[in-house]
Structure 1
Amino acid sequence: MVGLEGNLVLALNSGSSSLKYGLYSVVEEPHLLVGGTIETTDDHARFFDAIETALRGWPTPAAIGHRIVHGGPHRDAHCRIDDAVMADLKAACAFAPLHGPASLALIRAAEARYPGVPQVACFDTAFHAGMPDVARTLPIPHAYRAGGVRRYGFHGLSCESIVRQLGEDMPPRLVIAHLGNGASVTAVLRDGGSIDTSMGLTPSGGVMMATRTGDIDPGMLLYLLRESGLDAAALATLVDHASGMAGVSGLSGDMRVLRAAATAHADLAIRMFERSVCKQVAAMIASLGGADMLVLTGGIGENDAATGQAIRAGLAWVPGLEIRIMPSQEDAQIALHAAALA
């Protein structure tokens, strides 16, 4: 551990149900020293008690990096956190009410536990900041677009990590399918970054997911408001927590559970998910004008062979498409940015 102090970075990846942490040594490439996962709770002191127990014997990190799901309209690049950044993150909570407040609370708790240690915000939306207007603009009146209502895209840190791992193997036209509880598909040009992606204003759109609808007829939501008496909160629960594979199967959004269940509804949910992925990949191929490589990543993309086989079969019509399975390294990407910006 001697000589590592200035290179140590604590990466915090806060999700809706868990917090992943990793202590990295960052010289040129990030090297994981200690890592783990803690179930989400409002007791952030307990978070850091558990982290400090795991990191006992290691020096205090030189920087702390946070995964921030939504940067809002004012933050489109990873940055060191100060009062102005915190104000923008608070405003961006309107775009990500599930993740934003929890991220703010975690940053404040980290400041209290590690006073004086630089903290860095790593935005999932940053990778998509350079999308062309034709991709980022939503078909709504300008008055709403001026308020920041547009396509932002997500899973950017995962996409960054895939591009970094590919290195010299990065093809001219790449499609990245991050398939986990959340799922999205992104079109990437070797020289231009992200040019299109399936998620939009929020992480609810695009591919059908574990519990999220993905793309859905907005008229259906209006129908439910009008005919079923649902309010905004009930619609949010429906769209984000009660639909997707869980809603169709009536069992679970966990692919492993659905594979084991072997019921008609579980099978339908799986086939709908696989079809949804193929449709979104095809859309990204259209945006790229063809594709040279598709990378499958995320929990399902990396580990569910049957899904991979179904996607290969569904995209057999695409000429010359190489399909690879690669690990998503979001936490390592957070560590790299934190080390560079602290």
Structure 2
Amino acid sequence: MTGDILTLNCGSSSVKFAVFDAGAPDAPAQITGKIAGIGRAPTFQARDANGQLHTPDPLNALTPTHTHEDLIPRLLEWLVQQRGAHPLRMVGHRVVHGGKTYTEPTRITPNVMANLDALCPLAPLHQPHNLAAIRAVAAWQPDIPQIACFDTAFHQTQDRIQTLFALPRALGDEGIVRYGFHGLSYAYIASILPQHLGTRAEGRVIVAHLGNGDSMCAMQSRKSKATTMGFTALDGLVMGRRSGTLDPGVILYLMQSKGMSAADVETLLYRKSGLLGVSGISNNMHDLELSHAPEAQEAIDLFVSRAARTLAGLIPAIGGLDAVVFTAGIGENSAPVRAAICSQLNWLGLHLDPDANARGDVKISAPNSAVDVLVLPTDEEAVIANACRAQLAI
């Protein structure tokens, strides 16, 4: 199998990309990079397999008016120049919501696109951009096969009880259930757990994916048993701009007493809440950690409190706890947040090594800790690339 695989992971304000050798499953990506700050102040960064940074910005003069649709074709053309004569075999995409229908990597067809479009209201910050990237590639080179890899798919191993809301049965049968998200991240962490935990990898593990969007997943035998996000990616933990779990009565009050429309409420809960809403300063944890404002500390404290309480609440689903894994932007990079969360879980026999935590070591639990605590970088792009290889082998 010769040629390259391109992976695209489009978020609300970013495009992550990577190029892999289709015939080398264990090889690192040849190129990795990200366009960040789309809609505000876009920046571009890319590195080759040796870690060399591409400078200056090859996309030239990015502005706040540039959209995902503007930038993806420019990125594709730049990648062609970098890859030279290597044929592009397939493009794989992270797609946040697959609904009840799509539970494994799926080749893109017009019918698949129509079905995924219908799920946009369930992931308004992500799904439209995921699909925009698919359309951009199709317009650029229509003959290149594309596949969608779904964040919801990893959670298909959960028991039915873990997926149900206490709503009339007919609504659950229609698909109003808990799906869970960040599945590509959890799939990657599950795949590397044996390297770090040995036989304990098959035990009771909670992975905390903490970034601008946050969730946790309780695993046993490296399979999802319970997770914190539900029908949409709005549920669960406090996030950068999203509220997380909220009393549904608040929504009724906002609409009935404050006169807010459904669109107003959507904007409030998805874009103006979370760390940004509570602090009034920023949705970025690093910015809040640098701030001396009491509102910044209150936002951090709420984030930590909800995270610790939620982690503890997942334990019954797996009958105990052998290990905790922190991953994603905050999980990998914020030693103070890790320490604060774990300090509220000492009653579990969970204890950190402060020096290891400050250094960001892979294992940050103390020798006397009953629970292993790890910090592991996630790699959603590698999961997508392997799914593409499997499709090419069919």
Identity, in percent, stands at: 37
Correspondence for 2:319: 289
Correspondence for 1:88: 115
Q: Secondary structure at the match of 2:15?
A: strand
> Shift in Å at residue 99 of structure 1?
2.1
Match of 2:332, as an amino acid?
A: E
Q: Structure 1's 53 and 314: CA in aligned 2 closer, same or farther, altered over 3 A?
A: same
- Which region of structure 1 is more displaced relative to structure 2, 80-89 or 300-309? 80-89
Correspondence for 1:31: 28
Correspondence for 2:391: 341
In 1, are the aligned partners of 2:68 and 2:129 still within 8 Å (CA)? Answer: no
* TM-score computed with the length of structure 2 as normaliser: 0.82
Correspondence for 1:266: 296
Give runs of aligned pairs for residues 295-334 of structure 1, distance below 5 A: 295-319=325-349, 320-334=370-384
Supply the distance in 1 between the matched residues of 2:273 and 2:118 (Cα, whole angstroms): 28
Correspondence for 1:47: 72
Q: Structure 1's 57 and 304: CA in aligned 2 closer, same or farther, altered over 3 A?
A: closer
Give runs of aligned pairs for residues 145-294 of structure 1, distance below 5 A: 145-167=172-194, 169=198, 170-190=201-221, 193-294=223-324
Gaps of 5+ in 1: none
Ranges of 4+ aligned residues in structure 1 off by more than 6 Å: none
Q: Secondary structure at the match of 1:56?
A: helix
Q: Structure 1's 224 and 46: CA in aligned 2 closer, same or farther, altered over 3 A?
A: closer
Q: Deviations over 1:227-277 (max 9, x none)?
A: 111110111111111111111111111111111112111111101101111
Indicate yes or no: 2:39 matched with 1:8: no
Number of residue pairs aligned between Structure 1 and Structure 2: 337
Q: Structure 1's 284 and 122: CA in aligned 2 closer, same or farther, altered over 3 A?
A: same
Q: Deviations over 1:52-111 (max 9, x none)?
A: 214414113211100000012211212222233222212222322332222222212112
Q: Aligned-residue CA RMSD in angstroms?
A: 1.6
Supply the distance in 2 between the matched residues of 1:103 and 1:255 (Cα, whole angstroms): 25
> Shift in Å at residue 220 of structure 1?
1.2
> Shift in Å at residue 34 of structure 1?
0.9
> Shift in Å at residue 45 of structure 1?
5.1
Supply the distance in 2 between the matched residues of 1:206 and 1:109 (Cα, whole angstroms): 32
- Which region of structure 1 is more displaced relative to structure 2, 73-82 or 296-305? 73-82
In 2, are the aligned partners of 1:77 and 1:123 still within 8 Å (CA)? Answer: yes
Supply the distance in 2 between the matched residues of 1:117 and 1:127 (Cα, whole angstroms): 26
Indicate yes or no: 2:9 matched with 1:18: no
Gaps of 5+ in 2: 39-65, 350-369
Correspondence for 1:113: 140
Match of 1:321, as an amino acid?
A: V
* TM-score computed with the length of structure 1 as normaliser: 0.94
Q: Larger relative contact order (C-alpha < 8 A, sep ≥ 6)? A: 1
